[in-house]
A and B are shown apart, each in its own frame.
Chain A
């Protein structure tokens, strides 16, 4: 019996010819990523060494990445203090993959990792962020962990007690219709699987829709795989993966790729006809409460957000700019745009997207996570309703438990900014 992609990846990682689902492994970690919560990882890491005669040195500084993105620039003295502590630690330990609060190389961790070539197919990648599932788009087994787990990885260089997960195969064929995007596809998948449907499992994406999808779109679908409970979302690497890594991420070294066995055993197979998909909306307060836009259009909106690790890339900004160009965000609705990185921000300026979005009345903020989780700008008032291209709509998510958050693609968000109500982009003038 053959192996799924994650089985083959983990077998290679531990040097075995075969691994079975449920088998417990301790694979070496190729990349360990943290953001502002690195401050907590540091205190837990130092706790491990407390009372011993060993010096607290990380196992390998080259395999650790730290990116400030959650509260940039610092919104409080507490955050500034945590960032200062982390900056000092990074210097002392010799961690080079460090992205500080900067307008050139800064950005959201899940964009910074791919665009700098830090991710490779076959990697075991852990991050102290649940959306670490994103990097499966480049063929890495990539998953979120808690801060104490990360402190253990920093010490040992391997992750303890990983059970080989079962795999759900998601096969998507057909051409996505106009105004339907990878975001609509993954919202549809989450609605089908439910918020718990992939708990302790991984999603492996196949089909010609995925093969023809850009890495940007693949990052979106793997990013949100965690909203079905998946440990990781995975796209077995192909020509597009290599193109992205060579041309956009500047990777020079040899890249080894592999795919799942033809006779791999999947726990479940979900088949989707992409040509029949419509724009989708995740309604409050769970991400699996997914409805076609036609069922919720007309809902009054107070705030629109485009951005985040889910949909803040160049193609997302392009969709928004094309809809907004020469038009005006309607009075009574405010629009915030957060590009996923400064590299994207600069390209979007070169192409005129930022200007079109800004002149339409949207506030273009610096790259960061802030409003997505209600921790830095863009909070909602009582009884306000937001429509966002972010990844979660949990109660309180955008800073106020008395507000509502709906999730959608950048096209739905931009079309709705012109009307002030949830709008089907296929009908927008």
Chain B
């Protein structure tokens, strides 16, 4: 697995209103939501849309990332860029929706990284290749592992639905 460059670092309590402002909520389809990711941070939004930020980059956050509204657009807009989210912790609804949609999220309670740093997961630890430090990661809820293994909640539910008698 290659390293991922930190393209945005944010603090604690970053709400879904910041990730996906409410005024774009009439847009719902995962194919359309990435255009409005972090829309109130126009420079970052422009660099995402233009492709200047390559897909599969990393976002580093503090505690309670994704708090507030349950809007799933806040997850699908980041999924559209295959963003890796490394947060000190993640709010409940955002975490569940991220697992459901297959967004790459890593809970890393002690993470220290600056924009521009190169991160890499190795043996369950988050390695900051730039600073040379490494950090423990928390496993995702084991109850949700089957959903992750199935590739998201849609294929998982489809399998359960088909196993019921018609």
**Contact surface of A with B, Cβ cutoff 8 Å:** 24, 36-37, 39-40, 43-44, 47-49, 52-54, 70-71, 75-76, 78-79, 82, 128-130, 132, 144-149, 151-152, 155-156, 160-161, 163, 195-196, 199-200, 229, 231, 286, 373-375, 379, 392, 394-397, 399, 401
Give 1 or 0 for each of B19-31: 1 = CB within 8 Å of chain A CB. 0011101111100
- List, in ascending order, chain A residues with CB within 8 A of B15's CB: 392, 394-395
B72 near A40: Cβ-Cβ < 8 Å = yes
Q: Which listed residue, B29, B64, B154, B166, touches A196 by the CB 8 Å rule?
A: B64
The answer to whether the Cβ of B93 comes within 8 Å of any Cβ in the partner chain is: yes
A328 CB, nearest partner CB in chain B, Å:
32
B93 near A130: Cβ-Cβ < 8 Å = yes
- List, in ascending order, chain A residues with CB within 8 A of B71's CB: 37
B100 near A148: Cβ-Cβ < 8 Å = yes
A399 near B22: Cβ-Cβ < 8 Å = yes
A52 near B162: Cβ-Cβ < 8 Å = yes
Interchain CA distance A70-B24 in the complex, whole Å: 12
Interchain CA distance A76-B92 in the complex, whole Å: 31
For B, the interface residue count at a CB cutoff of 8 angstroms equals 47
Most buried by A among B12, B27, B71: B71
A79 near B147: Cβ-Cβ < 8 Å = no
A303 CB, nearest partner CB in chain B, Å:
16
**What are 18 A-to-B residue pairs whose CB atoms are below 8 Å?**
A37-B71, A37-B72, A43-B29, A49-B161, A52-B162, A128-B72, A130-B70, A148-B154, A149-B97, A152-B100, A160-B147, A161-B143, A161-B146, A196-B91, A231-B92, A373-B17, A396-B22, A399-B22
Known contacts A130-B93, A196-B13; decide if A37 and B153 are in contact (CB<8 Å): no
Interchain CA distance A151-B100 in the complex, whole Å: 11
Q: Which listed residue, B12, B25, B89, B93, touches A146 by the CB 8 Å rule?
A: B93
B72 near A151: Cβ-Cβ < 8 Å = no
Known contacts A147-B72, A392-B17, A394-B18; decide if A48 and B158 are in contact (CB<8 Å): yes
A395 near B18: Cβ-Cβ < 8 Å = yes
Interchain CA distance A196-B75 in the complex, whole Å: 20
The answer to whether the Cβ of B9 comes within 8 Å of any Cβ in the partner chain is: no
A200 near B17: Cβ-Cβ < 8 Å = no
B23 near A397: Cβ-Cβ < 8 Å = no
Give 1 or 0 for each of B33-55: 1 = CB within 8 Å of chain A CB. 00000001000000000000000
Chain A binding surface, main DSSP class: loop
Interchain CA distance A308-B23 in the complex, whole Å: 17
Known contacts A146-B93, A148-B72, A373-B22; decide if A54 and B63 are in contact (CB<8 Å): no
B153 near A373: Cβ-Cβ < 8 Å = no
B26 near A82: Cβ-Cβ < 8 Å = yes
Closest 8 CB pairs of A and B: A146-B97, A373-B22, A161-B143, A40-B28, A401-B40, A24-B143, A152-B157, A144-B70
B153 near A71: Cβ-Cβ < 8 Å = no
Measured CB to CB, the nearest residue on chain A to B15 is A394
Most buried by A among B15, B70, B97, B158: B70
8 Å CB contacts to A: which residues of B119-166?
141-144, 146-147, 152-154, 156-158, 160-162, 166
- List, in ascending order, chain B residues with CB within 8 A of A78's CB: 26-27
- List, in ascending order, chain A residues with CB within 8 A of B25's CB: 36-37, 70, 373, 375
- List, in ascending order, chain B residues with CB within 8 A of A36's CB: 25-26
A44 near B17: Cβ-Cβ < 8 Å = no
A155 near B161: Cβ-Cβ < 8 Å = yes
- List, in ascending order, chain B residues with CB within 8 A of A196's CB: 12-13, 63-64, 67, 89, 91
The answer to whether the Cβ of B96 comes within 8 Å of any Cβ in the partner chain is: yes
The answer to whether the Cβ of B80 comes within 8 Å of any Cβ in the partner chain is: no
A145 near B18: Cβ-Cβ < 8 Å = no
Interchain CA distance A43-B28 in the complex, whole Å: 10
A274 CB, nearest partner CB in chain B, Å:
27
A37 near B40: Cβ-Cβ < 8 Å = no
- List, in ascending order, chain A residues with CB within 8 A of B161's CB: 48-49, 52, 54, 155-156
A146 near B91: Cβ-Cβ < 8 Å = no
Known contacts A152-B154, A379-B23; can you find 9 more A-B pairs with CB under 8 A?
A48-B158, A54-B166, A71-B26, A76-B26, A78-B27, A130-B93, A229-B64, A373-B25, A395-B15
Give 1 or 0 for each of B85-120: 1 = CB within 8 Å of chain A CB. 000010111001100110000000000000000000
Interchain CA distance A146-B90 in the complex, whole Å: 14
B154 CB, nearest partner CB in chain A, Å:
5
Most buried by B among A160, A231, A374: A160
A374 near B23: Cβ-Cβ < 8 Å = yes
- List, in ascending order, chain A residues with CB within 8 A of B166's CB: 53-54
- List, in ascending order, chain B residues with CB within 8 A of A70's CB: 25
